[in-house]
Structure 1
Amino acid sequence: MADLHSRAATPVSARLPDFPWDQLSEHAARARSHPDGIVDLSVGTPVDSTPQVAQQALREAADAPGYPVTIGNVETRQAAIDWLERRFGVTGLRLDPRPGSGEGAVLPVIGSKELIGALPLHLGIGPGDLVVQPELAYPTYEVGATLVGAEVLAADSLTAIGPRTPRLLWLNSPSNPTGQVLPPEHLRKVVEWCRDRGTLLVSDECYLECAWDAERPPSSVLHPDISGGSHEGILAVHSLSKRSNLAGYRCAFVAGDAAVVAELLAVRKNLGLQMPEPQQRVMAATLADDEHVVAQHARYAARRAVLREALEGAGFRIDHSEASLYLWATREEPCWDSVQWFADRGILVAPGAFYGAAGRRHVRVAFTATDERVAAAAARLRA
């Protein structure tokens, strides 16, 4: 009884690392004291308007008195399938691979972060299990594994994993924070390695449409040239937050192995994790529209070019960054020294150490600020 009381008295938050953004508060205050105000390039949050196609879909779906279905509307899931095929050549996804099952290979979720953080719990991963993530990684991968008591290993090389068989292996291409794009041959190798061992491979592909290097476009692991024409043992996570300025709508989906999707669906039904009906209609409409994505891509490309030139002029080297919404910058000094240097100029950036020990000499610079704020940052860097 005492042991039960002790466990109940220990807050879950005690298992987790400190929330990284809290460590930036002192530097944020310093940046805000700049006479021309802060230029916040630390978080990749959209600042441009939500596209009209999304706003119109929301207005038309505003009357939604009933409960939504957890699996999502047929139209919403089909829009995700059509988008993956049209934009990235993914084939073979079906709404109902087994007649009468009510299951499918696509599941809408309430933002990709919620899915990523809860995935180990929903898949029954726990103590004694191993979760592998990239050496430089979105912190929520570790948070999800830590919450269920699983062991986390940061490794970019398959040989570094050793003899143990992971329950779950995360891929992230294009990468947050580095913007690195993994080549198709590497993705194929990881798919084969995971299948040989029965490891579930989950690919975070939320920046797939935010690519800048035309010679090396990113690929989905669900593409038949990478998956071998089968989605067994593979999931891909996608978000509309970046491509469509829908961060406030929490629209995302997971696609791939129908059996794993069915398992997630069964758990999420019991928890009542349902994407609201209006957001489902918005997701279907925005996935079907490429015009607003092209326009937003052009805005980001222009901001990226301005910031990159200014950073390089200030003595920073840009590594990777061929995709995503960030520039991975270094002057070969401790990242917190760089953070302070930027803050002294009224610019807030993210220290690379937030994403793993391998980032301790880099900073992540987002180019999601307005044109005016990006221009202000560039002027300060040139000065």
Structure 2
Amino acid sequence: MNHNLTHLHPYPFAKMATLLANSSPSALYSEIKLGIGEPKHAPPAFVLDALKENLDKICLYPTTNGTFELRQTIAHWLEKRFFLHHVDANTEVLPVMGTREAIFSFAQAVIDHNADTENTETSLKDSTESNIESNQPSSQHYNPVIVMPNPFYQIYEGAAILAQATPYFVPCTLDNDFKGDYRAVPREIWARTQLLFVCSPNNPTGSVMTLDDWEMLIRLSDQYGFIIASDECYSELYFDVAPIGLLQACTALGRDNFKNCVVFHSLSKRSNLPGLRSGFIAGDANILQSYLQYRTYQGCAMPIPHQLASIAAWQDEKHVAQNRTLYREKFALWMTELGELLDLRMPEAGFYFWIKVPEQFDCDDEMFVKALYEQANIHALAGRYLSREVEGKNPGQGYVRIALVASVEESREAISRIRKLLNA
């Protein structure tokens, strides 16, 4: 077995299961799940119809790069949504089976170990363990670094470890608007960085990168030669202003070749289709050419019925606007009904509340999620499980992530239960 598997942390939901193993949910209430970011809004019927109507094509082998029709549809969507001059459907777009798998495999494909590899196994083990826990740079010059936000989507860390790279965590706190202070990253870290993961809109904080933020990272990429991989799966769940994407920032800076920049998008959140496993990666054609070769050997290709259903989804914006309306209604409800009892911060985009734990629970996120479960039968996620401790501080500790994925009616019920809990 790959010895690096021993360095992987349990997934946040596995940690939650351990935390609640000896707890029982309140028998007074039915279960309300607000812990997992799984969309519960109805998927668009016309997409399901397209899937059903093309089931006979399941007998066909799909190509790894998908059909031209799907790539062209995605290219046109990118151009319109992010004001891009031109996206080449043949070289700058690659459909993938969901962005989680693509983000993971992308790191495996781009990390380069063609430096000194003597005693790699021993030194990598030591540097991986120390860097994950303390965020200190490794003394081994050949060990590449993957920089990522903290808190973060845990697939970034797992991808780094199994690519035999060192994760470097950039704390996202209230002091830096939950976007991370990339200017504070030491030069010696940037010099070893081969890949930077950015999540905008951010999971779990809901923060959004500005054009100035993107320009700073692009300049750093130019200086040090690393790839920027922007996870933009929540980009269509905004409230007022559509978030600026990485490729949009490239175009604004006159970089139409998207050098060293790639983005990941998905239909999971945008169209309430998490089970379709449909997304794409787009950007730098040179990077995508090599990544396509990697995926060809990996054997990942989207089934033809899924591709045709995806075309229908990407071509329609009406259902996306309706989706945003539902989330806007639920966020307004929570802010109005619980804003005086909880420290609620309205996110810029996404469907998460990143909530500071009330003082009556000793600002302890584990204590708060246990109380929600035991006294209100509400599932939430302890913030510390989405973060890593750096220099003695875990930026997720003292926070709880709540996903507003349930219906408006369930949201009203959850609010009622939480009010009772807090008032008690």
**With structure 2 as the length reference, what TM-score do the two structures score?**
0.82
Q: 1:282 to 1:163 in 2, by over 3 A?
A: same
- The answer to whether the aligner puts 1:135 opposite 2:150 as a matched pair is yes
CA displacement, residues 138-183 of structure 1 (integer Å, 9 cap, x when unaligned): 1110010011221010123233321232100011110000001121
Unpaired runs of 5+ residues, structure 1, are 1-7, 97-103
Unpaired runs of 5+ residues, structure 2, are 114-123, 125-142, 171-179, 388-393
Alignment of 1:213-362 (within 5 A): 214=240, 216-223=241-248, 224-226=251-253, 228-313=255-340, 315-319=341-345, 321-330=347-356, 331=358, 333-343=363-373, 344-356=375-387, 357-362=394-399
Q: Distance in 1 between matches of 2:252 and 2:368?
A: 41
| Residues 365-374 or 222-231, more deviating | 222-231
- Deviation of 1:28 after TM superposition, in Å, equals 8.0
CA displacement, residues 320-357 of structure 1 (integer Å, 9 cap, x when unaligned): 51211101111361211221232222211111112212
- Tell me how many residue pairs correspond in the alignment: 365
Q: Is the 8 A contact 1:307 1:367 kept in 2?
A: no
- Deviation of 1:218 after TM superposition, in Å, equals 1.0
- Give the partner amino acid of 1:89: F
Q: Distance in 1 between matches of 2:25 and 2:52?
A: 37
- Deviation of 1:226 after TM superposition, in Å, equals 4.9
Match in the other structure for 2:7: 15
Q: Is the 8 A contact 1:30 1:346 kept in 2?
A: no
- The answer to whether the aligner puts 1:367 opposite 2:360 as a matched pair is no
In the alignment, which of 22, 33, 41 is matched to residue 26 of structure 2?
33
Q: Distance in 1 between matches of 2:24 and 2:283?
A: 43
Q: Is the 8 A contact 1:351 1:362 kept in 2?
A: yes
Match in the other structure for 1:119: 106
- Deviation of 1:370 after TM superposition, in Å, equals 1.9
Q: Is the 8 A contact 1:178 1:320 kept in 2?
A: no
CA displacement, residues 38-61 of structure 1 (integer Å, 9 cap, x when unaligned): 211001111122201211211222
Match in the other structure for 1:54: 47
- Deviation of 1:308 after TM superposition, in Å, equals 2.9
Q: Is the 8 A contact 2:79 2:86 kept in 1?
A: no
- Give the partner amino acid of 1:255: A
Q: Secondary structure at the match of 2:221?
A: helix
C-alpha RMSD of matched pairs (Å): 1.9
- Deviation of 1:247 after TM superposition, in Å, equals 0.1
Q: Is the 8 A contact 1:31 1:39 kept in 2?
A: no
Match in the other structure for 1:86: 80
Q: Secondary structure at the match of 2:187?
A: coil
Q: Distance in 2 between matches of 1:31 and 1:324?
A: 30
Q: Distance in 2 between matches of 1:31 and 1:189?
A: 48
Q: 1:227 to 1:375 in 2, by over 3 A?
A: farther
Q: Is the 8 A contact 1:181 1:323 kept in 2?
A: yes
Q: Is the 8 A contact 2:201 2:235 kept in 1?
A: yes
CA displacement, residues 235-289 of structure 1 (integer Å, 9 cap, x when unaligned): 0000110010110110110000011111110011112111111111111110000
CA displacement, residues 280-323 of structure 1 (integer Å, 9 cap, x when unaligned): 1111110000111111111121122222333323x221235121
- The answer to whether the aligner puts 1:105 opposite 2:88 as a matched pair is no
Q: Distance in 1 between matches of 2:292 and 2:213?
A: 30
Q: Distance in 2 between matches of 1:108 and 1:346?
A: 39
Q: Distance in 2 between matches of 1:227 and 1:176?
A: 29
- Deviation of 1:227 after TM superposition, in Å, equals 6.2
Q: 1:175 to 1:237 in 2, by over 3 A?
A: same
CA displacement, residues 211-249 of structure 1 (integer Å, 9 cap, x when unaligned): 12x2x5311110111563330100000011001011011
| Residues 370-379 or 142-151, more deviating | 370-379
In the alignment, which of 197, 212, 228 is matched to residue 201 of structure 1?
228
**With structure 1 as the length reference, what TM-score do the two structures score?**
0.90
Q: Distance in 2 between matches of 1:140 and 1:292?
A: 29
CA displacement, residues 74-117 of structure 1 (integer Å, 9 cap, x when unaligned): 11111111111222213331023xxxxxxx10001111111112
Q: Distance in 1 between matches of 2:198 and 2:78?
A: 18
Q: 1:150 to 1:320 in 2, by over 3 A?
A: farther
Q: Is the 8 A contact 2:40 2:406 kept in 1?
A: yes
| Residues 271-280 or 251-260, more deviating | 271-280
Q: Distance in 1 between matches of 2:34 and 2:350?
A: 14
Q: Is the 8 A contact 2:148 2:156 kept in 1?
A: yes
Q: Distance in 1 between matches of 2:311 and 2:299?
A: 21
